[in-house]
């Protein structure tokens, strides 16, 4: 949730608003609606400069990169047809066949802070890193972010998975117009919220959700894989930064109530004067606006009933949390898995990674946890720093596997 903390923007080298016409869309999932050319980084040195300015390790850069915004057909969290957007980054080289990395971004609340609508290198840096290393990089904005309609159903793994899969399909069609082809192999990664997205996508590909694409490896970074037994209890402790505990709790309750109807009225869970918070989570308010409206602690935010709902979920809320947490518990990955984390994460607490590792091990899956070390370059927070450390590490691993 970096955008709740900082609005620093890193400009790109070259930008364009050219819109490329695409075959008229139908309701079919993954069908392209439009393509917008965004930025060109002509050489690997240009990518280096952009990444290094925002603390990313540019050591895997080999090629220049072109980026695009794709708008495509998908379905929303209720299964209804909608559109979504996402970022596609392609290396500037003579390769015709490209392996793909799908990267799920971390928590954002403002539509303009999604990968295809942001100039912030923290948001687009992963796609630049993977593309400059020679992969085709796709980064879904998710439903309700970017230029997609409606509010974003935060931490809804099914719609995140569908948006990711449909962007892969749209990207496959688009890259053909650029004289390139995507191979079957998809390497899935993601940070924070996107860590669950990566596991959800890998699970779907392994199950045969698409006849072409297959999951080659999955490398989630600092995810909240166990909301019920790790993340939510930690929100009420000193492990999670108090202001961010208030922010994540608000987003969770508002988003899950919209989709699952988990409480009768906002006043049931939120204390006055915070009963109107839901209106701020519509995708049109910036992180600064939301943060300014939140109390400094979770105790100031919640009613006794709200606290009880979180700590002792039942009914639809318990079912929804179980679905979110299933990315580590209800399948047996048959591709290589690594779980990246940074010690002392004050947002996605390390117990999440421990629980995911244990759950996968119980199913006979070797999913080593990889200690990234600590980087507090972003506002002094370990969590954001773990993306900066984790993306180059995942890039090197994917490159080794793809040799």
Domain 2-226+326-401, architecture per CATH: 3-Layer(aba) Sandwich (3.40)
Parts of the chain with a pLDDT under 70: 1-28
Question: Sign of the CA dihedral 222, 342, 57, 97?
Answer: negative
Domain 227-323, architecture per CATH: Orthogonal Bundle (1.10)
User: In the prediction, which pLDDT does 378 show?
Assistant: 80
Give me Rg for the CA atoms of the chain.
20
Burial string for 38-76 (b: 16+ CB within 10 Å, else e) reads: bbbbeebebbbebbeebbbbbebbebbbbbbbbbbbbbb
The string of DSSP codes covering 88-134 is EEEEESS-SEEEEEEEE-----SGGGSGGG---HHHHHHHHHHHHTT
User: In the prediction, which pLDDT does 11 show?
Assistant: 27
User: In the prediction, which pLDDT does 28 show?
Assistant: 65
User: In the prediction, which pLDDT does 29 show?
Assistant: 86
Instruction: Express each pLDDT in 271-299 by its tens digit.
Output: 999 999 999 999 999 988 998 999 999 99
Domain boundaries, the chain: 2-226+326-401, 227-323
pTM: 0.94
Instruction: Express each pLDDT in 294-347 by its tens digit.
Output: 999 999 999 999 999 999 999 999 999 999 999 999 999 999 999 999 999 999
Q: What angle do CA 231, 125, 190 make, to 5 degrees?
A: 35
User: In the prediction, which pLDDT does 330 show?
Assistant: 96
User: In the prediction, which pLDDT does 287 show?
Assistant: 87
């Amino acid at each position: 949730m970096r955008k709740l903390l900082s609005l620093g923007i890193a400009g790109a080298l070259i930008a364009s608003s050219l819109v490329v016409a695409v075959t008229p869309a139908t309701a079919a999932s993954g069908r392209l609606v439009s393509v917008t050319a965004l930025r060109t980084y002509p050489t690997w040195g240009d990518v280096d400069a952009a990444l290094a300015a925002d603390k990313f390790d540019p050591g895997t850069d080999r090629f220049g990169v072109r980026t695009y915004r794709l708008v495509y057909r998908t379905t929303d969290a209720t299964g209804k047809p909608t559109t979504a957007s996402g970022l596609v980054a392609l290396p500037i080289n003579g390769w015709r066949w490209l392996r793909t990395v799908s990267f799920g971004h971390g928590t954002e609340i403002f539509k303009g802070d999604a990968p295809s609508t942001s100039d912030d290198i923290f948001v687009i840096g992963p796609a630049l890193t993977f593309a400059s290393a020679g992969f085709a990089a796709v980064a879904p904005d998710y439903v309700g972010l970017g230029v997609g309609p409606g509010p974003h159903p935060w931490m809804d793994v099914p719609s995140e998975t569908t948006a990711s899969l449909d962007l892969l399909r749209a990207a496959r069609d688009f890259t053909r117009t650029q004289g390139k082809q995507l191979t079957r192999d998809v390497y899935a990664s993601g940070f924070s919220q996107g860590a669950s997205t990566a596991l959800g996508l890998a699970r779907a590909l392994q199950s045969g959700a698409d006849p072409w694409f297959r999951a080659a490896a999955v490398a989630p970074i600092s995810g909240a894989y166990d909301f019920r037994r790790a993340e939510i209890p930690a929100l009420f402790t000193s492990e999670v930064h108090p202001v961010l505990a208030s922010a994540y709790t608000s987003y969770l309750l508002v988003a899950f109530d919209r989709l699952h109807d988990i409480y009768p009225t906002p006043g049931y869970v939120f204390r006055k004067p915070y009963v109107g918070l839901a209106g701020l989570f519509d995708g049109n308010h910036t992180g600064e606006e939301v943060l300014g409206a939140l109390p400094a602690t979770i105790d100031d935010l919640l009613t006794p009933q709200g606290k009880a709902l979180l700590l002792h979920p039942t009914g639809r809320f318990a079912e929804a949390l179980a679905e979110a947490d299933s990315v580590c518990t209800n399948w047996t990955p048959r591709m290589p898995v690594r779980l990246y984390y940074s010690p002392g994460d004050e947002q996605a607490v390390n117990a999440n990674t421990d629980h995911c590792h244990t759950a996968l091990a119980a199913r006979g899956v070797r999913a080593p946890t990889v200690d990234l070390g600590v980087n507090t370059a972003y506002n002094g927070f370990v969590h954001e720093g773990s993306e900066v450390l984790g993306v180059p590490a995942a890039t090197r691993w994917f490159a080794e596997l793809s040799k």
